């Protein structure tokens, strides 16, 4: 059942469930953060409308910087602003930032622990028709490997809104991963969000497998959990929106109950959530792990749902992974 303590959207499983892009939640929250703190500034590389900082730019034109198609400059200018006391939000497509400017992020932001917020929009397969050049499926690996970097992948509009407000208050480099299309709104305005903490969205009286998902994949994991419950297999679904720092202690508490885990992410199987959990269990509490992710391949152009099916990021494969994880339990 859905966790009643989190005030989740009770219409999650309806075909008419509300859908909004996570980038919209970011855009609205950035304006609010700008109203609350005059030191917040916004920058982009010729993607003001797409990354949803246009409203901020219109309201605070003196605090908006258009750097053009120059992602390396986007980061170095942001670092300079941060060193001058500002709190910069640098937005672009994730394939270009961190994809194109990773060295600048490493050297001018992370090495000196500079307070720059990097917003990677249009991440994952859901970018769809834009094709492989714009489908960032390696960005989490790039950012999770960097010392001092915090990494957040919101599950929906409301969590993107709240995460934006939270990272604005954290004095540290942060990466916020956003998607392009409208996706189901799972949480509500009342749903709590705490940076660095997991949330159990789906609970059962006798869970046999833990599903840990992040971003857009949480929705499909919830559908899989509900279907599996009808078929006699109880699970728990964890929304892991903060990948770094990882909420290790709480995750291990869940795994010691179920003794099996499935990780689900809209990213390459290497270097993202699945790798984080694999490292956690091999060094703390070894349990069978099954992975639902992109399997070491580039994608192609297509509609978002078509691509999720083609590359195995769907309800059917999540259910298969859960069954396999249960079978592997000692």
The pLDDT, as a whole number, for residue 307 is 96
Percentage of the chain lying above the pLDDT 90 cut: 98
**Does some domain include residue 330?**
no
Choosing from 54, 66, 71, 305, which is the catalytic residue? 71
**Does some domain include residue 299?**
yes
Total domains in the fold of the chain: 2
Q: Is there a single domain that holds both residue 282 and residue 207?
A: yes
Strand partners, 90: 43, 118
Q: Is there a single domain that holds both residue 266 and residue 318?
A: yes
CA angle 264, 53, 116 (to 5 degrees): 70
Identify the burial level of 206 via C-beta atoms within 10 angstroms of its C-beta, where 0-12 means exposed, 13-18 middle and 19 or more buried. Answer: exposed
**Does some domain include residue 316?**
yes
What are the pLDDT tens digits along the chain (330 aa)? 999 999 999 999 999 999 999 999 999 999 999 999 999 999 999 999 999 999 999 999 999 999 999 999 999 999 999 999 999 999 999 999 999 999 999 999 999 999 999 999 999 999 999 999 999 999 999 999 999 999 999 999 999 999 999 999 999 999 999 999 999 999 999 999 999 999 999 999 999 999 999 999 999 999 999 999 999 999 999 999 999 999 999 999 999 999 999 999 999 999 999 999 999 999 999 999 999 999 999 999 999 999 999 999 999 999 999 999 999 997
**Does some domain include residue 156?**
yes
CATH number where 235 lies: 3.40.50.920
Q: At 298, list the tokens.
A: 């580039």
Q: Judge if pTM exceeds 0.85.
A: yes
Domain boundary among 153, 184, 215: 184
The pLDDT, as a whole number, for residue 330 is 75
Q: At 13, list the tokens.
A: 């499983």
Indicate the helix (H) or strand (E) that contains 94.
none
Q: Is there a single domain that holds both residue 102 and residue 172?
A: yes
Q: Is there a single domain that holds both residue 117 and residue 251?
A: no
Q: Is there a single domain that holds both residue 291 and residue 207?
A: yes
Eight-state DSSP code of residue 171: S
CATH number where 103 lies: 3.40.50.970
Q: Is there a single domain that holds both residue 31 and residue 148?
A: yes
Strand partners, 238: 200, 212
300 counts as catalytic: no
Q: Is there a single domain that holds both residue 57 and residue 11?
A: no
Q: Is there a single domain that holds both residue 118 and residue 60?
A: yes
Domain boundary among 134, 152, 184: 184
Q: Is there a single domain that holds both residue 175 and residue 198?
A: no
Q: Is there a single domain that holds both residue 115 and residue 222?
A: no
Residue 97: domain span: 19-184
Q: Is there a single domain that holds both residue 147 and residue 267?
A: no
The pLDDT, as a whole number, for residue 279 is 98
The pLDDT, as a whole number, for residue 49 is 96
pLDDT digits (tens, 9 = 90+) for 243-291: 999 999 999 999 999 999 999 999 999 999 999 999 999 999 999 999 9
Domain boundary among 184, 202, 220: 184
Cα(237)–Cα(245) distance, integer angstroms: 19
Q: Is there a single domain that holds both residue 46 and residue 176?
A: yes
Q: At 143, list the tokens.
A: 């950012």
């Amino acid at each position: 059942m859905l966790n009643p303590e989190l005030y989740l959207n009770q219409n999650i499983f309806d075909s008419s469930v509300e859908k909004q892009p996570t980038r919209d939640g970011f855009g609205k929250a950035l304006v609010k953060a700008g109203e609350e703190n005059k030191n917040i500034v916004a920058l982009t590389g010729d993607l003001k409308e797409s990354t949803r900082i246009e409203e901020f730019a219109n309201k605070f034109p003196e605090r908006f910087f258009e750097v053009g198609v120059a992602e390396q400059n986007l980061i170095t200018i942001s670092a300079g602003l941060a060193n001058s006391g500002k709190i910069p939000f640098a937005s672009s497509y994730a394939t270009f930032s961190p994809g194109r400017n990773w060295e600048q992020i490493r050297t001018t932001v992370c090495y000196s622990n500079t307070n720059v917020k990097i917003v990677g929009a249009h991440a994952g397969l859901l970018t769809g028709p834009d094709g492989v050049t714009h489908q960032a499926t390696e960005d989490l690996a790039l950012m999770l490997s960097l010392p001092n970097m915090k990494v957040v992948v919101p599950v929906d509009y409301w969590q993107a809104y709240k995460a934006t407000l939270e990272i604005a208050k954290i004095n540290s480099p942060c990466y916020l991963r956003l998607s392009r299309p409208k996706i189901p709104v799972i949480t509500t305005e009342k749903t709590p969000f705490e940076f660095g903490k997991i949330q159990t969205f789906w609970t059962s009286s006798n869970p046999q497998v833990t599903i840990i998902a992040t971003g857009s994949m949480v929705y499909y994991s919830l559908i899989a959990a509900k279907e599996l419950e009808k078929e006699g297999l109880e699970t728990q679904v964890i929304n892991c929106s903060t990948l770094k720092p990882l909420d290790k202690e709480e995750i291990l508490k869940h795994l010691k109950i179920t003794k099996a885990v499935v990780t689900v992410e809209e990213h390459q199987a290497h270097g993202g959530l699945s790798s984080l959990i694999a490292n956690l269990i091999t060094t703390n509490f070894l349990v069978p792990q099954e992975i639902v992710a992109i399997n070491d391949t580039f994608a192609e152009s297509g509609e978002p749902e078509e691509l999720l099916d083609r590359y195995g990021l769907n309800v059917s494969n999540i259910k298969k992974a859960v069954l396999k994880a249960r079978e592997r339990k000692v």
